[in-house]
Structure 1
Amino acid sequence: MARRQRPPAAVRAPGGSHIVELAPDSARPGGRILSVDGVAQSYVDMADPTYLHFDYVRRMASVIDAAAPRRQPVRALHLGGGGFTLPRYLAATRPGSSQVVVERDVALLELVRRELPLPRGDLRVHLADAREAIEAEPAASYDLVLADIFQAAQMPEHVASAEFAAQVARVLHPDGLYTVNLTDLPPLVYSRVQATTLRTAFPDVCLIAGRAMLRGRRYGNVVLAAARKPGRLPVARLTTHALRDPVAGVVLHGEALDRFVAGTRPMHDPRTESLGPPQSEVD
C-alpha cells in the first residue's frame, strides 16, 4: 500500500515590511494560500492554474475571457503580483501571451518564486512601484492592464487617481481593456469614487460585484473594468459570466452606473502645494 504523502507545511517569508505566509489548502491537494499580515491575498492551484478560488479573481478573469478568445495570445501588464494567479491563468489559457508583472514587495516575490515556480513562457517580472513602472512604459503597448495593488489593505492613493488612470489608458492599445480590484465596505463610497475616477480617462466603464456587496450587506471586493473605446466593453458577456459565477454577481453599466456614482467626484494626485485636504468628495 502506498504511503500517503504529507501536505506541504506552511512557510513564511523572512524579513520584509509585512508577514508573508504560504499555506497548503487541506481541501485541495495542489492548492496554496498566500497571506499577507494574516489576510488571504492569493490562491494558487499548482496542478490546475485555471482554477480560480476567489470570486474577485474570477471576475477579473471574466474580463480577460470576454475580451479575448481562448488560445489567442495577448500582451498583458499586471500591476501587483501576489501569487501570480492571473499570470498563470493567462499562460495556461492563452499560450504565447507576453506578460509583464510589477511587484514591489521583495520578500513576497522571493517566497513565490521559491515555493510556487512561475510558468514558462514570455513572463517578465519587474521589482518596482506600479506608478513608476507604468509611467516608463511606451504608449499603446498592452492589450490588457490588470491591477491588484494593496498596501495595509488599501489601494495606495498614487495608483488610485485620475492621473494614474490616464497613464493606464496611455499604455493600452486602442482596443485595450483595464480591470482593477478594489476592497470596500458599505455604503461603497470608495467604489463609487473609483468608478468616477476611471471615467475621467476611459469612455466605457463598468462595475462588477456580488449582490450582497451592492445591497450594502458586507465588506468585500469590487471589480471595475474600463475600455479606451466607447462601446468596447463586452457588457453582455461580462453579465453572463457574473450570473453564472458560484457567487452570483451584478454588472453596473451605462445608466445603472450613472445612478450608482451620482454625486461623486474623481480622486486626483495631491497637489504639491497642499498639505492634504481630502482628494475625493461625495456631494
Structure 2
Amino acid sequence: MTSVELVDDGSGGTVVMMDGHPQSHVQLDDPRLIVFEYVQFLAALLDALPEGPLVVTHVGGAGLTLPRYLAHTRPGSPQVVLEPDADLTQAVRDQLPLPRGHRIRVRPVDGRSGLRALAESSADVVVVDAFAGGRVPAELVTTPWFTDVRRVLRPGGLLLMNTADEPNRRHLARLHASISEVLPHTAAVATSEVRKGRRFGNTVLAASAQPLPLEAMTRRIAMTAFSATLLHGPQLTRSLGSAQPFGDEDAQASPEPPVVDRWRVR
C-alpha cells in the first residue's frame, strides 16, 4: 500500500510525499509557482504551444500541480487525469482543493488501461508523469504503449514525458528509442548536470508525429529558473547513443532513485 504524506514546506506550499519520495509541490495561492525543475520544464513546453485552451490527458496525478497550472494559464482546458491511487487523490482533494471552475476530471485507473479507454484523436497533449516507488512503471516505457498514445493524440498532438535515470542514461536511451519509433520528432530537456551525466536526475521528453515548435520551446525553457538545454534531432540521438526500444516482453522500470535522507524545497 502506498504511503502518502502531505508536508508543509514552510513557505506557503505543500509537498506531496509518496513512499518517502517527493512527488509534487502545490502552491494553492499561486498555481504558476512551480518548484520542481521537471515540472517547470513540462509547463514551459506547454507554454510553447499556441494560445488558448488545450485538451490534455495526464498519466499520473499526485498533487495535480500541472493540471492546476493549466487551469490557471489556459482557462477552460478540459483535462483528464489517470491516477490509480484513489486514496492519494482523495487526500489531495481534501487538503489541497481544486480551484473553482476547473475542468479537471480524475479517473481512478492506471495509465495503460485508462488510455486504452479514451477515444482516438481525443487529446491535444498527453503528459506522462507517473512514478511508483520513485520509478516510472515498466508498462509506460514500451513501443506498444506509445503506439496507443499516438492513437489518442490529435494530428500534430504532443507527448510530454518525465523520466529519471542514472548518469549513464541507458534507460533514457531505450525509452527515447521506444518513443521515436512511433513519434519521430523528439526533443529532450534536462539540467546541465543531468545532461552531462554528472548525477541521477530527471529528463523531460517531447515528441510528436509532426515537427515540434522548437524555437518557441527553446525560448520557454530558457525562461525557467534552471540552467537547462533543449536537445533535438541528430544532436539528441548522438547524445544518447544507439539503443533498442523497449517491447512489452523486455520492459524495465526506470532505475531506483538514490536514497535521500532529507528533502527540502530550497
- 3-state SS in 2 of match to 1:209: strand
1:6-25 equivalences under 5 Å are 17-25=1-9
Matched, 1:253 2:232: yes
CA separation of 1:84 and 1:279: change in aligned 2, threshold 3 A: closer
Question: After superposition, what is the alpha-carbon deviation per residue over 1:19-44, rounded to whole angstroms, capped at 9, x for unaligned?
Answer: 11001121x22x11111122111000
Matches for 1:135-154 after TM superposition, within 5 Å:
135-154=116-135
Structure 1 gap segments, 5+ residues each: 1-16, 271-277
Bigger mean CA offset, 241-250 vs 198-207: 241-250
Return the offset for 1:244: 3.0
In 2, the alpha carbon distance for the partners of 1:258 and 1:40 equals: 30
Task: Look up the match of 1:220.
Answer: 201
- Secondary structure of the corresponding residue to residue 106 of structure 2: strand
Matched, 1:96 2:66: no
Query: 1:267 maps to what in 2?
Result: 246
Deviation at 1:216, TM superposition (A): 1.0
Larger radius of gyration: 1
Q: Are the aligned partners of 2:129 and 2:163 in contact in 1 as well (CA < 8 Å)?
A: yes
Q: Which amino acid aligns with 2:47?
A: D
Q: Work out which of the residue numbers 29, 44, 66 in structure 2 matches 1:47.
A: 29
Name the SS for the 2:14 alignment partner. strand
Q: Which string of whole-angstrom CA distances, capped at 9 and with x for unpartnered residues, describes residues 86-134 of structure 1?
A: 0000000000111111101122111101101123322211000110011
Between the aligned partners of 2:223 and 2:75, the Cα distance in structure 1 is 25
CA distance in 1, matches of 2:24, 2:5: 11
State the 1:46 CA deviation.
0.4
- Structure 2 Cα separation of the partners of residues 227 and 32 of structure 1: 33
For residues 98-247 of structure 1, the aligned pairs below 5 Å read: 98-119=78-99, 120-229=101-210, 231=211, 233-247=212-226
Contact 1:192 1:260 (8 Å CA) reproduced: no
Q: Distance between the aligned counterparts of 1:221 and 1:196, measured in 2?
A: 17
Aligned with 1:68: secondary structure? coil
Task: Identify the structure with bigger relative contact order (alpha carbons < 8 Å, sequence gap 6+).
Answer: 2
Distance 1:39 1:130 in 2: 20
Retained in 1: the 8 A contact 2:18–2:133?
Answer: no
2:53 matches 1:87:
no
CA contact (8 A) 1:204 1:227 kept: yes
Secondary structure of 1:268's counterpart equals coil
Q: Kindly provide the amino acid, as one letter, of the partner of residue 93 in structure 1.
A: T
**CA distance in structure 2 between the aligned counterparts of 1:279 and 1:42, rounded to whole angstroms:** 26
- Whole-Å Cα distance in 1 between the matches of residues 23 and 82 of structure 2? 16
The gaps in structure 2 that reach 5 residues or longer are 253-266
Could you give the per-residue CA deviations for residues 68-96 of structure 1, whole angstroms, max 9, x where no partner exists? 32xx1110101100100000000000001
TM-score, L = length of structure 1: 0.86
Q: Among the aligned pairs, what percent are the same residue?
A: 35
Residues matched between the structures, number: 251
Asked if structure 1 preserves the Cα contact closer than 8 Å seen for 2:177 and 2:243, the reply is: yes
What do residues 212-249 of structure 1 show as CA deviations (whole Å, max 9, x unaligned)? 001111111110001121x2x11122222223322111
Q: Once the two structures are superposed, what CA deviation does each residue of 1:238-276 show, in whole Å capped at 9, x if it has no partner? A: 222223322111111011012123320100112xxxxxx
TM-score, reference length from structure 2: 0.91
Question: Structure 1: which amino acid aligns with 2:223?
Answer: R
Q: Is 1:58 aligned with 2:40?
A: yes
The alpha carbon displacement at 1:279 in A equals 4.1
- Show CA shifts across 1:150-195 (max 9, x none): 1121111111100000111110010210101001111111111111
Counterpart CA distance in 2 for 1:249 and 1:242 is: 7
